[in-house]
Amino acid sequence: MASALRGFLTDYLPQQRALSPHTLHSYRDSLKLLLQFVAGKTGDPARLSMEHLSYEQVMAFLLHLETKRHNQASTRNVRLGAIRSFFRYVATHHPEHLEQAQRILSAPLKRTTLREIHHLELSEVQAILRDIDRSSPEGRRDHVLLTFLFNTGARVGEVVTLQTSDLVLDVLPSVRLRGKGRKERRCPLWAETAQALRAYLGERTVGLHEPQGVFLNQRGQPLTRFGVRWILQKHIRNTAEHLNSLKTKRLHPHSLRHSTAVHLLRSGIDLSTIANWLGHVSINTTSKYLTLDLEAKRQALDQSEPILSDDQRRIFPCPENDLIGWLDSL
């Protein structure tokens, strides 16, 4: 098993499939959790053999994720996807375990529930930015960070790897973002965002020709995904004390990406431009934001005629007078 894991993680994924480090780390973490579960609290994962990773153990592990770690079905499916990929490799390179691999490859993905996507209204974004205390270097960094996220709709992974050499802050300000699958795109910056970035980098005495991380933590290291999430949650909690609409929303860094898309849509930008702005491969991915714009739905409702007029409504029997007869008439 150690040989299979080594070949899978150090040769097959990075060399033969050329997957990104983020994908590689996700696969690694999934397999690490599986090995720790199978070994148990007192066992040593290094002593496990391939036979220990049976179909029954994999299914027990998936159940453990949902019941003990309280993972959503989508997270469970991500872990199973990594396990499947490993055993697809095992089936090819270690055919003596082909039957075992085929059983695990037959493990089904669980159907997921598509929850409502929450986003921030423009007034809510403005309130959060207005409430940030910019008297400290951390506060000024947080203000620039959240402004940049809303301006660009960048993924959090694109922000934490952003370099100063990716910024153009002169006449036509823009930023180069590296998205999923190593795809690069250039996104325009508002004049206000460019000015805030110039002031923030000038305070650090960093030039754009020097390839350094843009957003750093207190130790001078690039912010992590968890750091960006913590910063956003901190300022949302602060603003939610006087803005009740924030208290009922599930918000995270990706919510700012949704907010950018809805803001562009309401500004009259076409879907193909928004897809290019956000780095979507397919415009079908961008079209989901049409369902988020509740204000556009209200306007459409106001412009449409009611299905039933008052005269039509009166032809139905009144439930208060004859409830059973009304039920029979349905």
Task: Report the pLDDT averaged over residues 68-77.
Answer: 93
Give the residue among 218, 217, 202, 219 at the shortest CA–CA distance from 164.
202
Confidence of residue 320 (pLDDT cuts 50, 70, 90): low
Q: How far apart are CA 132 and CA 235, in angstroms?
A: 7
Which sequence spans correspond to the domains of the chain?
Answer: 2-105, 122-297
**Residue tagged active-site, from 76, 97, 235, 280:** 280
Residue 178 pairs in a beta bridge with 184
Kindly indicate whether the domain formed by 122-297 is annotated with CATH number 2.30.30.30.
Answer: no
pLDDT band at 89 (very low <50, low <70, confident <90, very high): very high
Q: Of 155, 178, 258, 263, which is the active-site residue?
A: 155
Mean pLDDT for 176-192 is 86
From CA 300, how far away is CA 114, in angstroms rounded? 24
Q: At residue 20, what is the residue type? A: S
Entry pTM: 0.69
Does residue 73 have a pLDDT over 70? Answer: yes
Collapsing DSSP to helix, strand or coil, 114 comes out as coil
Q: How far apart are the first and last CA of the chain?
A: 64
Catalytic residue from among 198, 225, 254, 266: 254
Active-site hit among 27, 89, 200, 289: 289
Backbone angles phi, psi at 167, to 5 degrees: -95, 140
Active site residue 289: yes
Catalytic-labelled residue, pool 52, 94, 180, 204: 180
Would you tell me how many other CB atoms lie within 10 Å of the CB of residue 53?
A: 24
Does position 304 have pLDDT exceeding 50, yes or no?
A: no
DSSP 224: P
Q: Is 94 a catalytic residue?
A: no
- Of residues 76, 257, 258, 263, which has the active-site annotation? 257
Confidence of residue 45 (pLDDT cuts 50, 70, 90): confident
Most confident of the following: 79-88, 148-157, 213-222, 241-250? 79-88
pLDDT tier at 291, thresholds 50, 70, 90: low
Task: Assign domain 2-105 to a CATH class.
Answer: mainly alpha
pLDDT of residue 309 exceeding 60 = no
Whether 250 is catalytic: no
Distance CA 133, CA 268 (A): 33
Q: Known catalytic residue: 254?
A: yes
